[in-house]
Amino acid sequence: MILGPNDAVPHRPARIIVAGTSGSGKTTLSARIGSLLDIEHVEIDSLFHGQNWTPRATFEQEVDEFIARPSWVTEWQYSLVRDRLVERADLMLWLDLPRRTVMRQIVIRTLRRRYGRRELWNGNFEPPLHRIFFERDHIIRWAWRTYPKTAELVHRADGSRLELMIVRFRSHREVDAWIAHQLTPLT
């Protein structure tokens, strides 16, 4: 059931996934929701990426362990576990932002991470910027290329699990208003 930002959520959610293309703000919103509801935020990228950007062998097991808990919030990504996350979630927040917004955010985020030499997960750093020209899966190119896939995946999830509440946001302003008017009173 896809709801708009003005539709009420009938109960306090406990297991929440945040959907959106790379750079849409999934992790930021997940952390914010976790803090507001006082539930655990599991940053799924930190479970997936091992040293030197290699997938961690324990990824699926660690996801299975945290989704078995009674409450959590995480980002909805990685095809290996995407269906499992949908099966356990009672709410999906969908950041369906305009492509120009997402691309502006991912470029700014990538530049900040690269020039700030900020460690991301397990000893990994943003790669040199010139790689955007040579690597098909550079995060900026990835965000551009996969942007349309998110809507398809969300609609597929909606069709496979009709009781899952999905709230669709088309701007950060809608997210802020929804949190202020509908989520905060539930706590």
The CATH number of whichever domain residue 28 belongs to comes to 3.40.50.300
Question: Is residue 130 one of the residues assigned to a domain?
Answer: no
Question: Is residue 21 one of the residues assigned to a domain?
Answer: yes
Question: Is residue 35 one of the residues assigned to a domain?
Answer: yes
Residue by residue, pLDDT tens for the chain (187 residues) are 898 999 888 888 999 999 999 999 999 999 999 999 999 999 999 999 999 989 999 999 999 999 999 999 999 999 999 999 999 999 999 999 999 999 999 999 999 988 888 888 888 888 888 888 888 888 899 999 999 999 999 999 998 888 899 999 999 999 999 998 877 655 4
Q: Where are the beta strands (DSSP E) in 23-170?
A: 41-42, 72-75, 91-95, 165-169
Q: Which amino acid is at 120?
A: L
Alpha carbon distance 150, 53 (integer Å): 23
Question: Is residue 142 one of the residues assigned to a domain?
Answer: no
- State residue 21 phi and psi, 5-degree precision: -70, 165
Cα distances (angstroms) measured from residue 132 to each of 44, 71, 122, 127, 129: 24, 38, 22, 9, 6
Question: Is residue 132 one of the residues assigned to a domain?
Answer: no
Q: Please give the pLDDT value at position 187.
A: 46
Question: Is residue 85 one of the residues assigned to a domain?
Answer: yes
Question: Is residue 138 one of the residues assigned to a domain?
Answer: no
Q: How many CB atoms are closer than 10 A to CB 6?
A: 11
Which residue range is the domain that position 33 belongs to?
2-99+149-186
Q: Please give the pLDDT value at position 185.
A: 53
Read off the pTM: 0.92
Question: Is residue 12 one of the residues assigned to a domain?
Answer: yes
Domain count, the chain: 1
Q: Please give the pLDDT value at position 121.
A: 84
